[in-house]
C-alpha cells in the first residue's frame, strides 16, 4: 500500500512539472515581445494557474496519505517491538477490541432514526425508555466513539493537508516561493495558544456525528455570499493570530547615463494582522421535548444555530469594528476607495456613475480589475425597475442582447449572483448589508471588491451538548462554536464603498 501511494505521489509531482511548464509557456511570448498580456493570454494564464493550484491540493492530500500510512507502519513497528520485549510474539489476541469502519452505516449516519443528542441525554440522566432505553443508547454511544477513533484522525489529516496547501499557495502568491509554513509560522508572526479551551476533540462522547457537522445552513436567514466570495483558507490549529508580511515601500529603477549613478531606493516592509476570534451560540432544550417529539428536534435546533452562525459571520465581515471580540469588517478598513453618491431623488443613470467609479478606482489603484459588486436586494431590484425615456427598462435580461442597457440580469435568485454590470463585474445580492448607516441611519452601502485580495481563515465547526449544568430542570444545552480570522486590509485599495443619501433604499423595495 505504501509503495503504491508513494508511486501516486511521484506521478502527481511529475504532472505538476508539466503544468508549471504550461503556465510558464503562456508568459514566454509576451515577455519576448515586451508587451502586456492580451485578454486571451490572461484567460489562459488564469486557467493554467487554477489548474496548478488544484493539482497542488491533490499533492498535499497525497502527501498526507503517505505520511498517515508511514505513521501507522511506525506505530505498528513500535508495538511489535514492545510486544517482543514483553515476550508476546504470538498472533494477535482475538479478544482484543478492534473496530474498523469500512462502508457500513454509522450509528448516527444520515437516514438512521437515532438521535445522538437524545442518546447522550438518556445516558447522562439515566432515564428514558424510547429507542431501546438507556442501555441501547449507551451501546450506540460507545460504538459511535469507536467510529470517531477511526474517522476523526483521517479528517484531521485531510484538514491539516488542506491548511498546509493553503499556506504554501499563499506563500507563493506573496512571492516567497517555497518557504511554506516557515514564512507565516517560523518567523514568529502568529501567537501560539495551547490552553485546553483551544484543543479539538475534548470531551469523550461530546463529539456529534460527522455528517451532522457537515450540514450547513438552510435559507431561513440571509447567508454569507461575501464570505463565500473572498479567498477562503483553512485555519491552522494552535493559532491565535495570523500576520502576513507586506511590502510598504518598493524599489525603483531609472534611466542611467554612462558611468552615472544607478537609481536605488530601499525596500521597506510591514505586516497585516488578523486575530483569531470565536463565534458561538447555544440553546437550552427541555428533555421532554427531545424525548417526546416525533421528529429529531435537536437537529432542527442545530441547523438553526448554523444558519445564524452564517449570518453573523457575514455581518462581521461587512461591518465588524475590529475591536474587542469583533473581526475587522470591510466598511471599517482605513484607506479604501470611498465613492459618494448624494441625491435626495436618485435615478439609475445618476447612480451608474458611482458604480463605474467604484470599479475604476480599484483597477487604477490596485492595478488589477475588480471581481464583484455586492448590492443590497432593495437597491438592485429598485434599479431593475428603472425605465428610460421610452418606458423601456434600463436593466435587461442578458439573453435579449440589449443595445442600451446599463446592466444585465442573469438570474432572479434571492441571494447571490443576479446580474452583471456592463463594465464587467458580476452583481451579487448581499441581504446582510446594513440599512441603518449614514447621518439619518437609513442608508445602505454598495461594496465592490477584488475578492481574491481578502482572506478568510475558518476552522472546522465545533459543537457539544451539556446536560449537567441544567440537570436540575431536566434540560440540555446545545452549543456550536468556531474560530475564524478575516484580513480585509491586506490591500485596502481593492475595496470600494459607495455611500451617501443616494444609497437610501426606496419605498416599496
- For 331-371, what is each residue's pLDDT tens digit? 999 999 999 999 999 999 999 999 999 999 999 999 999 99
| Pair 358, 498: CB distance under 8 Å | yes
pLDDT band at 179 (very low <50, low <70, confident <90, very high): very low
Burial 380-412 (b: 16+ CB within 10 A, else e): bbbbbebeeeeeebbbbeeeeebeebbbbbeee
At residue 340, the 3 state secondary structure works out as strand
At residue 57, the 3 state secondary structure works out as helix
Q: Which helix (H) or strand (E) holds 168?
A: helix 133-173
Neighbours of 506 (CB within 10 A): 13
- For 293-321, what is each residue's pLDDT tens digit? 666 777 778 888 988 999 999 999 999 99
304's grid cell: 438553526
pLDDT at 136 over 90: no
pLDDT of residue 185: 41
Q: Mean pLDDT for the chain? A: 79
Instruction: Give φ, ψ of 78 to 5 degrees.
Output: -65, -40
pLDDT at 205 over 50: no
**Residue 152, CA atoms < 13 Å, CB-side half-sphere:** 17
Q: Which helix (H) or strand (E) holds 81?
A: helix 39-85
pLDDT at 424 over 90: no
Q: pTM of the full predicted structure?
A: 0.62
pLDDT of residue 200: 40
Neighbours of 430 (CB within 10 A): 29
Closest C-alpha among 64, 174, 183 to residue 56? 64
End-to-end CA, the chain: 61
pLDDT of residue 338: 97
> Could you give the CA distance from residue 266 to residue 247 in angstroms, rounded to a whole number?
11
pLDDT of residue 315: 97
Closest C-alpha among 353, 356, 374 to residue 454? 374
Identify the CATH number of the domain defined by range 116-149+202-247+269-509. Answer: 3.30.2400.10
pLDDT at 187 over 50: no
> Could you give the CA distance from residue 495 to residue 338 in angstroms, rounded to a whole number?
9
At residue 333, the 3 state secondary structure works out as coil
> Could you give the CA distance from residue 240 to residue 277 in angstroms, rounded to a whole number?
8
pLDDT at 211 over 60: no
At residue 282, the 3 state secondary structure works out as strand
| Pair 241, 204: CB distance under 8 Å | no
Task: Report the pLDDT averaged over residues 227-243.
Answer: 91
Neighbours of 259 (CB within 10 A): 5
pLDDT of residue 489: 94
- For 19-49, what is each residue's pLDDT tens digit? 788 777 777 766 656 667 787 877 877 888 8
Neighbours of 199 (CB within 10 A): 11
DSSP state of 220: S
124, 289, 346, 402, 469 from 121: Cα distances, Å: 5, 12, 58, 62, 12
Q: Which residue has the cell 529603477?
A: 253
Task: Report the pLDDT averaged over residues 111-134.
Answer: 76
Amino acid at each position: 500500500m505504501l509503495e503504491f501511494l508513494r508511486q501516486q505521489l511521484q506521478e502527481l509531482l511529475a504532472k505538476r512539472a508539466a503544468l508549471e511548464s504550461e503556465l510558464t509557456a503562456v508568459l514566454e511570448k509576451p515577455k519576448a515581445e515586451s508587451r502586456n498580456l492580451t485578454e486571451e493570454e490572461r484567460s489562459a494564464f488564469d486557467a493554467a494557474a487554477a489548474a496548478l493550484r488544484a493539482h497542488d491540493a491533490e499533492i498535499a492530500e497525497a502527501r498526507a496519505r503517505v505520511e498517515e500510512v508511514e505513521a501507522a507502519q511506525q506505530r505498528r513497528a513500535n508495538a511489535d517491538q514492545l510486544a517482543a520485549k514483553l515476550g508476546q510474539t504470538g498472533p494477535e489476541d482475538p479478544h482484543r477490541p478492534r473496530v474498523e469502519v469500512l462502508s457500513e452505516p454509522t450509528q448516527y449516519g444520515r437516514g438512521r432514526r437515532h438521535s445522538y443528542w437524545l442518546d447522550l441525554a438518556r445516558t447522562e440522566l439515566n432515564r428514558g425508555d424510547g429507542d431501546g432505553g438507556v442501555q441501547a443508547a449507551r451501546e450506540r454511544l460507545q460504538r459511535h466513539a469507536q467510529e470517531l477513533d477511526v474517522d476523526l484522525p483521517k479528517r484531521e489529516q485531510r484538514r491539516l493537508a488542506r491548511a498546509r496547501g493553503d499556506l504554501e499557495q499563499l506563500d507563493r502568491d506573496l512571492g516567497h516561493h517555497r518557504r511554506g509554513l516557515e514564512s507565516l509560522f517560523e518567523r514568529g508572526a502568529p501567537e501560539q495558544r495551547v490552553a485546553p479551551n483551544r484543543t479539538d476533540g475534548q470531551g469523550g462522547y461530546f463529539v456529534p456525528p460527522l455528517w451532522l457537522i457537515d450540514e450547513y445552513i438552510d435559507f431561513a436567514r440571509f447567508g454569507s455570499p461575501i464570505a463565500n466570495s473572498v479567498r477562503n483558507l483553512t485555519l491552522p490549529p494552535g493559532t491565535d493570530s495570523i500576520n502576513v508580511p507586506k511590502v510598504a515601500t518598493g524599489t525603483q529603477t531609472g534611466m542611467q547615463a554612462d558611468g552615472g549613478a544607478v537609481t536605488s531606493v530601499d525596500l521597506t516592509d510591514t505586516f497585516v494582522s488578523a486575530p483569531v476570534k470565536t463565534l458561538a451560540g447555544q440553546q437550552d432544550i427541555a428533555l421532554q421535548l427531545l424525548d417526546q417529539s416525533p421528529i429529531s428536534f435537536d437537529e432542527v435546533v442545530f441547523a438553526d444555530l448554523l444558519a445564524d452562525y452564517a449570518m453573523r459571520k457575514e455581518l462581521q465581515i461587512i461591518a465588524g469594528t475590529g475591536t474587542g471580540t469583533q473581526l475587522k469588517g470591510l466598511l471599517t478598513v482605513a484607506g479604501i476607495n470611498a465613492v459618494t453618491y448624494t441625491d435626495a431623488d436618485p435615478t439609475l443613470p445618476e447612480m451608474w456613475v458611482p458604480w463605474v467609479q467604484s470599479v475604476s478606482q480599484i483597477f487604477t489603484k490596485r492595478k488589477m480589475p475588480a471581481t464583484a459588486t455586492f448590492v443590497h436586494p432593495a437597491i438592485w431590484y429598485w434599479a431593475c425597475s428603472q425605465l428610460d425615456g421610452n418606458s423601456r427598462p434600463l436593466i435587461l435580461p442578458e439573453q435579449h442582447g440589449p443595445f442600451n442597457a446599463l446592466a444585465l440580469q442573469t438570474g432572479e435568485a434571492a441571494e447571490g449572483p443576479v446580474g452583471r454590470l456592463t463594465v464587467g463585474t458580476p452583481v451579487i445580492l448581499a441581504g446582510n448589508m446594513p440599512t441603518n448607516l449614514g447621518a439619518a441611519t437609513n442608508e445602505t452601502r454598495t461594496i465592490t471588491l477584488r475578492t481574491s485580495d481578502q482572506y478568510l481563515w475558518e476552522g472546522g465547526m465545533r459543537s457539544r451538548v451539556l446536560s449537567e449544568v441544567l440537570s436540575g430542570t431536566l434540560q440540555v444545552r446545545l452549543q456550536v462554536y468556531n474560530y475564524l480570522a478575516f484580513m480585509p486590509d491586506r490591500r485596502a485599495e481593492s475595496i470600494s464603498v459607495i455611500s451617501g443619501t443616494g444609497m437610501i433604499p426606496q419605498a416599496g423595495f
